[in-house]
């Protein structure tokens, strides 16, 4: 079973670039520690204070092992400290979801032939 951790962030919209740096740091840290980084997402249009991070794991046990490695990793601790010091994250919520079989990572179909 694949589970995905959806992290919803309420961010200070005036510190968007600080959050971008934080997310880019996770882009190097998360895969190295065993998480499948689906991606981090900044607001583009509409609501300007909501960002998302999605990380997938093979199981809840794999997530728990990852969290233990995260706590011990110097770069991860540094990134958490950066967020605390800069205060660009106002609120954070985590939700765990199970992937519906046959729907995760399905590529788009080339529709150029269909439209002709």
Q: Is the CATH number of domain 3-99 3.40.50.11540?
A: no
Q: Are 26 and 20 in contact (CB under 8 A)?
A: no
The model's confidence at residue 115, banded by pLDDT at 50, 70 and 90, is low
Q: Per-residue pLDDT tens for 5-44?
A: 999 999 999 999 999 999 999 999 999 999 999 999 999 9
Query: Across the beta sheet with 89-98, what order do the strands follow?
Result: 36-41, 50-57, 3-11, 89-98
The residue extents of the domains of the chain are 3-99
Burial class (CB within 10 angstroms; exposed 0-12, middle 13-18, buried 19+) of 98: exposed
Question: Is residue 116 predicted with pLDDT exceeding 70?
Answer: no
Q: Per-residue pLDDT tens for 49-96?
A: 999 999 999 999 999 999 999 999 999 999 999 999 999 999 999 999
pTM (2 decimals)?
0.87
- Classified as helix, coil or strand, 79 is helix
């Amino acid at each position: 079973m694949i589970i995905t951790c959806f992290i919803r962030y309420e961010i200070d919209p005036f510190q968007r670039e600080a959050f971008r740096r934080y997310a880019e740091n996770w882009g190097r840290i998360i895969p190295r520690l065993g998480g499948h980084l689906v991606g981090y997402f900044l607001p583009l249009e509409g609501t300007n204070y909501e960002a998302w991070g999605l990380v997938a794991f093979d199981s809840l046990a794999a997530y728990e092992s990852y969290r233990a490695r995260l706590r011990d990793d110097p770069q991860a601790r540094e990134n958490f400290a950066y967020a605390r010091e800069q205060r660009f994250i106002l609120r954070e919520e985590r939700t765990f979801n199970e992937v519906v079989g046959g729907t995760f990572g399905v590529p788009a179909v080339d529709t150029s032939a269909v439209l002709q």
